[in-house]
Amino acid sequence: MTDESWAGWYRDRNGSDAVVLTTDGQRLRIRIRGVDFEGESFDGLAPVPGTPPESGAFALADGALTDCVLEWDLPLPVLVAGTPRTATLGCLLSLRRADPDLHLALHLDGAVYESARAESDFAAALTAIQRILPDGIRLGICIACAFSDYFPAPGRGLSGGLACFRGAKDAYRDTEGEGAVLDLWDRRTGCVQEIWSCREFEVRPARGAGTGHRGAFPLEPA
């Protein structure tokens, strides 16, 4: 995978700073005030070993950033009547010690399609956006892909826990239900960010074989 970088802002009790978020689709990286953080989820961004921040410089919970706000935009592929286009996704994430609040807004052709103001995770927020998009417009990212699924267990994290089965496409096309995904789990390519995309994207089936454990997209409410 090729890294992507997204410009944005970091805000906490000490002020506001321009930042750049970088990801390879799996791990996230960000430098804030000269300190490097990384993690597999937006609520798991921890200081890189060897570069500990000064005491009190950042609020940390279980070693990860908290009590702060991240805001950034990224180009997001969509399909309009089957034709690839690029929209812009605005992301506003409030990381709090209790639960994060996430708001996403998709900008396309002068219109804005928004999730609720306090979604619990990227899957829920992207689902909300897909549900209100006009007919014929589909998100072209991993959460909407024919080869992605979550581990068959209750709940899911804020981001980054979506398994990719692009290395076992034919086998995944036959999956339907929890047991089928469990049998295939060890053949996953890895886990990806829900907002990631790659050249192997295919639209997820609406029903039946190939819908795995989580079913079609948009997902049912968590």
What is the DSSP annotation of 144-185? GBTTEE--SSS---SSS-EEE-GGGHHHHTT-BSHHHHHHHG
- pLDDT for residue 6: 97
The predicted structure's pLDDT at residue 145: 97
Amino acid at 133: L
Token look-up 């992507």 returns: 4
- Residue type at position 74: L
Tell me which DSSP letter residue 121 carries. S
Specify the pLDDT at position 3. 92
- Fill in the DSSP letter of residue 45: -
pLDDT of residue 150: 95
The pLDDT score that the predictor gives to residue 1 is 61
Task: Supply the pLDDT for residue 53.
Answer: 84
Cα 22 from Cα 98, distance rounded (Å): 26
Task: Give which of 219, 5, 188, 1 is closest to 122, Cα–Cα.
Answer: 219
Per-residue pLDDT of the chain (222 residues; tens, 9 = 90+): 689 999 999 999 999 999 999 999 999 999 999 999 999 999 999 999 887 788 888 999 999 999 999 999 999 999 999 999 999 999 999 998 778 899 999 999 999 999 998 899 999 999 999 999 999 999 999 999 999 999 998 888 999 999 999 999 999 999 988 899 999 999 999 999 999 999 999 999 988 889 999 999 997 654
SS3 70: strand
Q: What is the pLDDT of residue 221?
A: 52
Beta carbons of 69 and 95 less than 8 angstroms apart: yes
CB atoms under 10 Å from CB of 157, counted, come to 18
Residue count of the chain:
222
Q: Give the pair of three-digit tokens for residue 11.
A: 């805000």
- pTM of this prediction? 0.94
Q: Tokens representing 180?
A: 């089928």
Tokens for 195? 């907002």
Residue type, 184: L
Q: How far apart are CA 22 and CA 6, in angstroms?
A: 6
* Predicted pLDDT at 56: 82
Residue bearing tokens 């103001």: 117
203 DSSP assignment = B
